[in-house]
């Protein structure tokens, strides 16, 4: 590789991680190089930097384009194709979510819907279908959430992530409010209004004086 030490370390690590994410090492390294590059790169630039053949670079770039993870650019007075990774990491996240859903989640949901429409003939299939129903409900909720995420802009996504445990507290408050205003006799009651006896001297109002 013909790269500075820090950049090379990042590129090498991304290549190793690529296989765990379902892409080969070459594609992972090409993407990592484009991500940290300060300018768009053409296929020759990529091949020279990583020591890859032109055919491997071409296949890797096509794979990244199929995932919508790189943009194709043309520079003035230059007939070569240049490539660049999006600058916004949240845009990359949304792209990965959308592509993973299209390739992995949607086919599974389709299979589960078909399976739930069948009438099981044996006890084992009745149990299996019940388990499939649970998985289908979970994946439907997940895809609804992913749809909402896809509609958020980067600033909103960053704010949501930074909330952390505050989200859980908001959900707990929402459940408490629903319980308070439910008609169930066992529901917790709102705090009682203060009685005259419970008012401290400092909070009493002197109506005789302005």
Q: What residues have CB less than 8 Å from 101, skipping those under 6 apart? A: 143, 146
How far apart are alpha carbons 54 and 74 in whole angstroms?
A: 19
Nearest 10 degrees: CA dihedral of 138, 106, 154, 156?
Answer: -30
Looking at per-residue pLDDT, the higher value among 57 and 164 belongs to 57
Write down the pLDDT at residue 67: 84
What is the per-residue pLDDT across 44-95, written as a single tens digit (0 to 9) for each? 999 999 999 999 999 999 989 988 889 999 999 999 999 999 887 877 777 7
pTM passes above 0.75? no
Report, as an integer, the average pLDDT of 12-38: 87
Query: Which of 82, 73, 86 lies closest to 35 in space, CA to CA?
Result: 86
5-84: which CATH topology?
Answer: Arc Repressor Mutant, subunit A (1.10.10)
């Amino acid at each position: 590789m013909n790269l500075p030490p820090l950049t090379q370390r990042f590129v090498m690590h991304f290549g190793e991680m690529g296989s765990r994410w379902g892409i080969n090492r070459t594609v992972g390294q090409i993407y990592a190089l484009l991500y940290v590059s300060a300018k768009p790169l053409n296929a020759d630039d990529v091949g020279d930097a990583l020591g890859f053949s032109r055919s491997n670079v071409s296949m890797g770039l096509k794979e990244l384009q199929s995932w919508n993870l790189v943009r194709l650019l043309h520079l003035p007075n230059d007939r070569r194709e240049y490539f660049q990774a999006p600058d916004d990491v949240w845009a990359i996240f949304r792209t990965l979510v959308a592509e993973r859903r299209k390739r992995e989640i949607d086919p599974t949901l389709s299979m589960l819907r078909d399976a739930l429409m069948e009438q099981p003939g044996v006890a084992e299939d009745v149990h299996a279908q019940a388990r499939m129903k649970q998985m289908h409900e979970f994946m439907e909720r997940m895809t609804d959430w992913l749809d909402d995420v896809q509609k958020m802009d980067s600033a909103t996504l960053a704010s949501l992530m930074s909330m952390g445990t505050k989200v859980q507290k908001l959900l707990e408050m929402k459940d408490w409010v629903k319980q308070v205003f439910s008609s169930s006799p066992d529901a917790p009651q709102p705090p009682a209004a203060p009685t005259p006896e419970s008012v401290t001297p400092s909070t009493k109002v002197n109506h005789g004086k302005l």
